[in-house]
Amino acid sequence: MRDTEFFLSWMAATAAAVEREADRLTELDSPIGDADHGNNMLRGFTAVRAALEADPPATPGAVLQRVGRTLISTVGGASGPLYGTLLRRTGKELGDAVEVSDEDLRGALDAGVRAVAALGGAAPGDKTMLDALVPGVAALTTSYGAARTAAEEGAVATVPLLARKGRASYLGERSVGHQDPGATSSALLVAALADVAEGSR
């Protein structure tokens, strides 16, 4: 079972990964965006860290809902509402349980990813964060390690895709040949989950 501490560790690991990779995320957002994805994610997860440290939520669901709300209120750009929806919806699905099973977490993440698709109107193959999240969450039925690999492969597989949503879609054919920044940051979120889950086995 996964307790509140596990979710706080997951979010801390995600914040650390975003700090480490912020420059790369911004570089990826240069050719097919407005070069702010690293800064957006860094601003959001710095606020998340502060919010969770100031007043740690009592349940796994409350942790993710707090993170989602914090991202929505601090991240400008498309990614704020999308990541905010992902985590808030996943947290809502977890309800007020003090501990959740891996199966419950998988189901909740699945609902969170579907909420992102509903909000942004994107589908896998559109060169968005869904290209990492959908395969990543699907592979949770195998293992956390498989989810990490699937999300990372999904992010890399956005390179040859034509962007159909978000700012990158304005470039049309010129969006081909670049890795999607949001898919790349989504793979960091999934990898952080796998790291924390594997570390606490």
Verify binding: residue 33, ligand ADP, rule CB under 6 A.
Answer: yes
Total residues contacting Mg ion (rule CB under 5 A)?
A: 5
Residue (of 133, 117, 108, 125) closest to 189 by Cα position: 133
Q: Which of residues 12-41 bind Mg ion (CB under 5 A)?
A: 29, 33-34, 36-37
Where does 29-170 have alpha helices with state H?
Answer: 37-54, 60-74, 79-94, 102-120, 130-138, 144-156
The residues, ordered by sequence, that sit 6+ positions from 136 with a Cβ below 8 Å of its Cβ are 147, 148, 150, 151, 154, 186, 187, 190
Q: How many residues bind ligand ADP (CB under 6 A)?
A: 23
Distance CA 54, CA 4 (A): 15
Out of ligand ADP, Mg ion, none, which partner does residue 148 contact, by CB within 5 to 8 A per kind?
Answer: none
Q: Binding string, 141-180, against ligand ADP, x = CB under 6 A?
A: ------------------------xxx------------x
133 lines the binding site for ligand ADP (CB under 6 A)? no
Question: What's the Cα-to-Cα distance from 141 to each of 10, 184, 190, rounded to whole Å?
Answer: 19, 21, 14
State the binding partner of 4 from Mg ion, ligand ADP, none, CB within 5 to 8 A by kind: none
CB-hemisphere CA count at 13 Å for 178?
23
Q: Which residues bind Mg ion (CB under 5 A)?
A: 29, 33-34, 36-37
Contacts with ligand ADP, residue ranges (CB under 6 A): 29, 33-34, 36-37, 40, 77-79, 82, 120-122, 128-130, 165-167, 180-183
